[in-house]
Amino acid sequence: MGIIINLIGVFLIVFIIWWFWIYKKQSEAQVQGSALDIIVDSGVYEPSVVHTKAGEEVTLRFIRKDSNPCSEKVLFSGIDVSADLPINIPYELTFTPEEKGEFEFACQMGMYRGKLIVE
């Protein structure tokens, strides 16, 4: 019994490390044509990784379904872009990322997290 509980504990720790930190498969999408919809719900941006091209105007249409105040804001670090998202009303955020690189976007508390990859 003791060994089993300890093995379960070790397995859980390894699993947590692997699932949340190592195995980082996230929903990805490429902005093509007009706007890309990003659903803001239950602690997750979907898609959470967005690919776009430097120098091209991009429109991200955030559709916030979560009424929790945590999800109210979306802030992009490294580029001067932010928005206050209304509930259930799509919010179009249009900007032109000039530089290539990876820019994180997150809610004010950093619980919702996503990444804009400018190629």
Partner 1 sequence: MNNKSKTTKRFYVSDISCASCVTTIETALKSVSGVDEVQVNFADRTASVTGDVSSDKLIKAVGESGYTASLAEDESSSSERQNQDLVHYRDLLKKTIIAGVIGVLILAVTMLGVLPDITTPSGQIAYGVISLLTLFVLSYPGGRFFAGALKSFKNHSANMDTLISIGTGVAWVYSTFVVISPDSVSEVARHVYFDTAAIIIAFINLGSALEMRARGKTSEAIKRLIGLQPKTARVLREGAEVDIPIEQVLMGDIVRVRPGEKIPVDGEIAEGTSHVDESMLTGEPVPVSKKLGDEVVGGSVNKSGSFLFKANRIGKDTALSQIIDMVRKAQNTKPEIGRLADKVSSIFVPTVLIIATLTMMAWFNFGPDPKLTYMLVATVAVLIIACPCALGLATPISVMVGVGKAAEYGVLIRKGDALQKAGQLTTVVLDKTGTITEGRPVVTALEPKDGSSEEELLKIAASVEKNSEHPLAEAVVEASKERSLELISIESFEAISGHGVRASYQNKLVLLGNSKLMNDNGINLGALTRRSEELSKLGQTVIFVALDGQPLGLLGISDPIKTDSKEAIQRLQESGIRVVMLTGDNRATAGTVASLVGVDDFIAEVLPQDKANEIIKLQEQGEKVAMVGDGINDAPALAGADVGFAIGTGTDVAIESADITLMRGSLHGVADAVAISKATLRNIKENLIGAFGYNTLAIPIAAGILYPFIGILLSPIIAGAAMALSSVTVVTNANRLRWFKP
- Judged by CB under 8 A, which stretch of 8-16, 50-58, 95-103 contacts partner 1? 8-16
Work out whether 28 is an interface residue with partner 1 (CB under 8 A).
no
Helix and strand tally (H, E) in the chain? 1, 10
User: Would you say how long the chain is, in residues?
Assistant: 119
Write out the binding residues for partner 1, residues 30-49 only, by CB under 8 A: 34-35, 41-44, 46, 48
Please give the Cα distance from 103 to 85 (Å, whole number): 19
Measured CA angle at 37 (ends 33, 42), to 5 deg: 160
- Sheet with 91-95, strands from edge to edge, namely 44-46, 36-41, 58-64, 91-95
Q: What is the per-residue binding string for partner 1 in 67-86, x denoting contact by CB under 8 A?
A: xxxx--x-x-x--x-xxx-x
Please give the Cα distance from 5 to 51 (Å, whole number): 43
Least CB distance to partner 1 at residue 89 (A): 5
Work out whether 101 is an interface residue with partner 1 (CB under 8 A).
no
Q: Which residues bind partner 1 (CB under 8 A)?
A: 2, 5-6, 9, 12-13, 16-17, 19-21, 23-27, 34-35, 41-44, 46, 48, 66-70, 73, 75, 77, 80, 82-84, 86-92, 106, 108-113
